[in-house]
Amino acid sequence: MSTKKKLNIGLIGGGFMGRTHSNGYNRVANFFPALQYTPVLKAVCFRNESKLKGFAEQWGYESTETDWRKMIKRNDIDAIDICTPNDTHAEIAIAAAAAGKMILCEKPLARNLEESQQMVDAITKAGVANTVWYNYRRLPAVTLAKQIIGSGKLGQIFHYRANFLQDWTINASLPQGGEGLWRMDAAVAGSGVLGDLLSHCIDTAMWLNGGIKDVTAMSETFIKERMHQLTGKVEKVGIDDACSFLCHFSNGSLGLFESTRYARGHKALYTFEINGANASIRWDLHDLNRLEYFDNSDESIVKGWRSIHVTDGDQPYMNKWWVPGLGIGYEHSFVHQVADFLESLETGKPCSPTFAEAHQTQLVCNAVQESAKSGSWKNTGVSN
Ligand SMILES: NC(=O)c1ccc[n+]([C@@H]2O[C@H](COP(=O)([O-])OP(=O)(O)OC[C@H]3O[C@@H](n4cnc5c(N)ncnc54)[C@H](O)[C@@H]3O)[C@@H](O)[C@H]2O)c1
């Protein structure tokens, strides 16, 4: 008989993230066999009843719910996983915390600072385990970047540069809002590329390079009015289509961030580059197993950017997968986050980013939004 402890999962939302998380829960025991906890797919909940049963069958959920409130009340659920659009995160998380459930919440933590503060307060009061799915941290090449920076190899860091570029909304006839299009609706999403894309860049940046002190930003909405799918009315668009900002990190380095859904030709190009006195690092989501590294102390005859294929067993997470030389994919970052969350239950050490840490990202997003409106520099209030 298995001596593993069961962690009963209640997943809310069966779209893009519902699938990546379900895959994570299903894969983790095979590839992280030493973990004491094993996730059990107890229940899945979303509103589209016609797809709910099929989803449950496809991914192996034992039961279904159409109302998340019912799911939260169930005694056979230990952890609530929030994979719904941003306008639901606060309400669900606060109710789940009050019911004593552990919470794994999708990013951005909330639509705005007020909501995210309430979520942090609720989780602190309840004292339940929590994490936010800023999953890019858990791609092996990005985790390796963290280790290299932590070892001091870069020396003093001068610059941090990040981009997240897409092109899927360059189309005036695309409606704002509705099923599958909630990212276009400011009332649901909270913001456009800022919360959707830049929040990822900010999370990774503060993890790798420390707190962001202050920002100056600009944002643009290129298509000013769109038809709303739910009302049929043409209405003013409230989201940012593009948003960029400059910042100071508390370690003295300068940051430059750009995100847009109007970079024709780019579907999901997330890149970052860090320049230190002794070495530089750069990473590109389109080639996610590689980390590029330039070391100024290399002999001049071999000096140049190296491309590290992060697939060796002594590199982050890779001893859990195949053999050296064989890469992994986007979906593995979610398997890793599940594994790290389960491990955190064994060790009692929080699974980063926690709600409190994701709230720091929300502070930066808030300052970016305010600066883009006012045109002036804004302090973020980030704590480190
Ligand atoms: N970590 C990442 O890289 C990443 C990537 C994509 C999305 N996200 C985040 O994940 C969340 C979901 O995004 P998505 O792309 O999966 O969206 P999606 O539109 O693909 O899926 C949303 C799901 O939520 C369900 N839903 C909506 N309102 C609900 C309610 N009140 N009760 C129950 N179910 C409800 C819908 O029926 C649908 O199944 C968002 O917060 C988004 O920002 C994160």
> Which ligand 1 atom sits closest to the C-alpha of 89?
41
Q: Is residue 384 part of a domain?
A: no
Biggest CA–CA distance in the chain, Å, is: 66
What average pLDDT score do residues 113-126 get?
98
Cis check for the bond before 353: say yes or no (omega within 30 of 0). Answer: yes
DSSP-assigned states of every residue in 124-187? HHHT--EEE--GGGGSHHHHHHHHHHHTTTT-SEEEEEEEEE--TT--TTSPBSSTT-GGG-HH
Domain count, the chain: 2
- C-alpha count within 13 angstroms, C-beta hemisphere, residue 359: 20
Does residue 136 carry a pLDDT above 80? yes
The whole-number pLDDT of residue 4 equals 92
Determine what percent of the chain is predicted with pLDDT higher than 90. Answer: 97
In the predicted model, what is the mean pLDDT of residues 212-229? 97
Residues 224-248, mean pLDDT to the nearest whole number: 96
Is the pLDDT confidence value at 270 over 90? yes
Question: 3-state DSSP call for residue 193?
Answer: helix
- Residues near 236 by beta carbon (within 8 Å), at least 6 away in sequence: 224, 225
Please indicate, yes or no, if residue 92 is contained in any of the structural domains.
Answer: yes
Q: Respond yes or no on whether the N-terminal peptide bond of residue 108 is cis (omega within 30° of 0).
A: yes
Both tokens of residue 249? 């990190």
Residues 164 and 209 in one domain: yes
* Predicted pLDDT at 49: 87
Answer whether 102's CB lies under 8 Å from 9's CB: no
pLDDT tens sequence across 275-325: 999 999 999 999 999 999 999 999 999 999 999 999 999 999 999 999 999
Domain span including residue 374: 137-329+338-379
d(CA 181, CA 227): 12
Mutation to probe ligand 1, out of 11, 12, 16, 44 (largest number of atoms < 8 A from CB): 16
Rounded to the nearest whole angstrom, what is the distance from the C-alpha of residue 48 to the centroid of ligand 1? 12
- pLDDT score recorded for residue 48: 87
Within 13 Å and on the Cβ side, how many CA atoms surround 304?
3
* 90 and 188 together in one domain: no
The answer on 17 and 157 residing in a single domain is no
HSE on the CB side for 40, CA within 13 Å?
13
Structure tokens given for 169: 């909304």
1 pLDDT more than 80:
no
Radius of gyration of the chain, Cα coordinates, nearest whole angstrom: 21
| Nearest-angstrom CA–CA distance, 149 and 142 | 11
Q: What angle do CA 73, 339, 269 make, to 5 degrees?
A: 100
Q: Distance from the CA of 16 to the center of ligand 1, in angstroms?
A: 7
Say if residue 150 is in the same domain as residue 115.
no
In-domain check, residue 149: yes
Using a cut of 0.85, tell me whether the model's pTM lies above it.
yes
The CA 68 to ligand 1 mean position distance, Å, reads 13
| Whether residues 235 and 348 fall in one domain | yes
| 87, 117, 135 - which closes a domain | 135
Same domain, yes or no: 212 and 64: no
Please write the tens of the pLDDT for every residue from 30-64.
999 999 999 999 999 998 889 999 999 999 999 99
- Residues having CB closer than 6 A to ligand 1 are 12-18, 45-48, 68, 83-86, 88, 106-107, 133, 135, 180, 182, 196
CATH code, 276:
3.30.360.10
pLDDT per residue as tens digits for the range 69-84: 999 999 999 999 999 9
Task: Tell me how far apart the alpha carbons of residues 318 and 325 are, in angstroms, rounded to a whole number.
Answer: 10
179 and 273 both lie in a single domain: yes
The answer on 36 and 52 residing in a single domain is yes
Which residue owns the Cα nearest ligand 1 atom 28? 84
Residue nearest to atom 34 of ligand 1 (CA): 46
The reply to whether 288 and 178 lie within a common domain is yes
Q: What spacing in Å lies between the alpha carbon of 17 and ligand 1's midpoint?
A: 6
Task: Give residue 190's pLDDT.
Answer: 98
Q: Tell me the pLDDT tens digit for each residue of 303-316.
A: 999 999 999 999 99
CA 281 – ligand 1 centroid, Å: 32
Statement: residue 250 has pLDDT above 80: yes
| Same domain, residue pair 364 and 247 | yes
266 plus 366 within the same structural domain = yes
At which of 135, 170, 201 does a domain end? 135
Rounded to the nearest integer, the mean pLDDT of the chain is: 97
Same domain? 142 vs 282: yes
Q: Which residue has the tokens 């980013």?
A: 353
In this predicted structure, the answer to whether residue 384 has a pLDDT above a threshold of 80 is no
Is the distance from CB of 242 to CB of 262 less than 8 angstroms? yes
pLDDT band at residue 2 under the 50/70/90 scheme:
confident
State in Å: Cα 367 to ligand 1 middle. Answer: 25
Q: Give pLDDT tens digits for 161-211.
A: 999 999 999 999 999 998 889 999 999 999 999 999 999 999 999 999 999
> In ligand 1, which atom is closest to the CA atom of 334?
1
pLDDT over threshold 90, residue 361: yes
Which of 74, 102, 135 is the last residue in one of the domains? 135
